[in-house]
Amino acid sequence: MLIQLTDQPIDVAAVLQAVQADGAGAVNSFIGTIRNQSTGRRVVRLHYEAYDAMAVHQLRRVAEQAQERWPMLQQVAVLHRKGTLEIGDVAVVVAVSTPHRAESFAACQYIIDTLKEVVPIWKKEEYEDGTVWVAAHP
Amino acid sequence: MNLSIALFGITREIVGAPTLEVALQPGQSVQQLLEQLHQTYPALGELRSLAVAVNNEYAPADALLQERDEIALIPPVSGG
């Protein structure tokens, strides 16, 4: 299991390599990237902040939950950036390997969906005329 | 008891500091901590949600706090 919260760029090829397993016929990945607009506003860059200790703990918890739900999971990797990211940068990578493809899609989606709900990481969008903490207010 | 509460994201900006020292009677709960904080910082009440983490886990409202706990406010998360 590879779990990482990092202020350095994520090497996606290395992550895919890390989940290779002889018993796996499928490797599935989700790569979250920084896009240039949000709710109609032009985004200049993003700032990610994390509660480091809890974020790593919860990232690991999510990966372990996926292993419990899909016991055939061979390898799991979840990496998330923090700090300032520019348009096109990779913010998060989830990668799993499984014997067959169906479980790989399901496990990968479960991990990214749950991560977004529970892991204490916050992003602040920077526009040309201000900043907003995403999803903070109703 | 004196609690040190770690703040992140918008809660850090609302309070204006990365940590907050709060004096509570011994045996107070997460709910009582939140009520006290909402009185002092009404802007916390405008958030979509506000959770409390105790020792890196989300704490239920009736969890009792202890001075040695590592406590943090968790505003709506937005990772990914």
Domain boundaries in chain B?
2-74
Residue A54 to residue A58: CA distance in whole angstroms: 6
* Residue B56 reports pLDDT greater than 90: yes
Within 8 A of A132 by CB-CB distance, chain B residues are: none
Fold for the domain defined by B2-74: Ubiquitin-like (UB roll) (3.10.20)
Domain annotation covers residue A138: no
B57 to chain A: nearest residue by CA? A54
User: How many whole angstroms separate alpha carbon B80 and alpha carbon B77?
Assistant: 9
- Parent domain of A72: 2-133
Contact assignment for A58 to B56 by CB distance below 8 Å: yes
- What are φ and ψ of residue B36, in 5° steps? -65, -40
Q: Where residue A39 falls among pLDDT bands split at 50, 70, 90?
A: confident
Q: Report how far residue A14's alpha carbon sits from residue A17's, in angstroms, rounded to the nearest whole number.
A: 5
Q: Which of A54, A61, A80 to mutate to test the interface with B (most CBs of B within 10 A)?
A: A54
State whether B78 and A80 contact (CB < 8 Å).
Answer: no
A77 pLDDT above the threshold of 90: yes
Probe site for chain A from B5, B7, B8 (most A CB atoms < 10 A): B8
The CATH code of the domain that includes A16 is: 3.90.1170.40
Is the residue at A115 inside a domain?
A: yes
Residues of chain B whose beta carbon is less than 8 angstroms from a beta carbon of chain A are 6, 8-10, 13, 46-48, 53, 56-58, 70, 72, 74-80
> What confidence tier does A24 reach under pLDDT thresholds 50, 70, 90?
very high
3-state SS, residue B42: helix
Distances (CA, A) of A56 to A9, A106, B37: 17, 22, 27
Residue A111 contacts B, CB cutoff 8 Å: no
CA distance A27 to A108: 10
Is residue A23, in this structure, part of any structural domain at all?
A: yes
**What ipTM score was computed for the predicted complex, to two decimals?**
0.96
Six-digit token pair at A28? 């599935």
Q: Per the structure, how many domains does chain A have?
A: 1
Q: Which strands form B51-54's sheet, in the order they lie side by side?
A: B19-23, B2-6, B71-74, B51-54, B57-58
pLDDT, tens only, A93-109? 999 999 999 999 999 99
